[in-house]
Amino acid sequence: MRSFVQGLIYCSLLKFYPFEKARILDYWTNIDDPTMNNTKIGNFALVMLHNLYNAKKFQANSSQYLQVISRLASLGPEIREFFLRAKGVGRML
């Protein structure tokens, strides 16, 4: 069931990414204005990074959790830059 949910999340990311990739990095230009930061993929990436520390409590699910983050980063260069600006590498370590 976990693999199914992981695949479902990935498929939805593949559908949203072409529409939102031009606006993903706008989050870092207007941090104070929440109306400009309404990309679903950007918000999802921040939630995944924010909950990364809590994921290690659930070791059975952590591999699928990390794989969703990996597949999120594989979508394109815009989301990879978003992860770099969100200090995702430091949070992963």
C-alpha 10: how far from chain center: 11
Model pLDDT for residues 8-36, shown as the tens digit of each residue: 988 999 998 998 888 888 777 766 766 66
64-80 mean pLDDT: 89
pTM for the full predicted model? 0.81
Q: Where are the domains of the chain?
A: 2-92
pLDDT for res 75: 92
